[in-house]
Amino acid sequence: MKVVVLVKQVPDTETNIKLGDKSINEAGIKWIISPYDEFAIEEGIKLREKNGGEVIAVSVGPDRVQDVLRTSYAMGVDKAVHIKVDDYNTFDSLFTSQLIANFAKAEAADIILAGRQAIDTDSSQVPVQIAEELGAGHVVLAIKIEINGTSAKITREVEGGTATVETSLPVVVTATKGLNEPRYPSLKGIMSAKKKPIDVKQAADLGAPASRIEVVGLEPPPPRIAGRKLEAADAAGFASQLVKALREEAKVI
């Protein structure tokens, strides 16, 4: 069984973001694997342990994304592929999905795993777009995956509960918290990951998709409504002040 796992490199949530004109200033940014993608990597490894085959981690972006591919190696993937795009527009989901779909098609992947969303753009677009481009089924928010020959039985989150779905392979699945507990890379894994080869592919080799969006500009978040601490002698005092503020000032309740 061939598993392709999408791995996106994103700024650490705790990193201070400085805005450039149309992209962020990358100086001083600490980069990490987008947290939901770790569930996808773990699941890929688990599926291989159970069903055999290989797990390929793929990441789109400039040379720095090789760091997350090294981490994927350290966690246990078999192969890492870097689709090199230097002026990568992280908001252009169709650009990214076409590159990866063409790659997955060439690899004849049985299952494509990704995080439910990347924490830099929160768009939730790329995995399902890949499914559409491959003519494959997709299941989002998976919390359990069972592969049986050429079909899959997957439990996913739905609003208010869970649903069980069945589909044939190939399928694209997005991972959410609850699917597994991602393993920490072992020291041995980290050491050997340094020596493993990363297969670099150029966007031109994978169809060189056209850009379909244009970033007009970035701006800081809007200022928050000024906050204040309420003063009261006891809980009842706080309650009456708060109810008054929410009803008469904020008018939200």
List the interface residues with another protein, window 43-62 (CB under 8 A). Answer: none
Judged by beta carbon, residue 74 or residue 141, the one nearer another protein is 141
Among 133, 183, 189, 205, binds another protein (CB under 8 A): 133
As a whole number of angstroms, the distance between CA 218 and CA 53 comes to 43
Among 21, 86, 87, 122, binds another protein (CB under 8 A): 122
Helix (H, G, I), strand (E, B) or coil at 151: strand
Contact track, another protein, 67-106, x by CB under 8 A: ------------------------xxxx--x---------
As a whole number of angstroms, the distance between CA 35 and CA 12 comes to 9
Q: Helix 66-75 vs helix 35-51: angle between axes, to the nearest 10 degrees?
A: 40
| Residue 150 binding another protein, by CB under 8 A | no
Stretch that binds another protein, among 51-59, 80-88, 171-179, 196-204 (CB under 8 A): 171-179
Among 45, 136, 147, 198, binds another protein (CB under 8 A): 136
As a whole number of angstroms, the distance between CA 22 and CA 218 comes to 6
| Residue 224 binding another protein, by CB under 8 A | yes
Per-residue exposure over 158-170, b if at least 16 CB sit within 10 Å of its own CB, e if not: eeeeeeeeebebb
As a whole number of angstroms, the distance between CA 58 and CA 8 comes to 8
How many chain residues bind another protein (CB under 8 A)? 82
User: Minimum Å distance from CB 181 to another protein?
Assistant: 11
Beta bridge partners of 55: 3
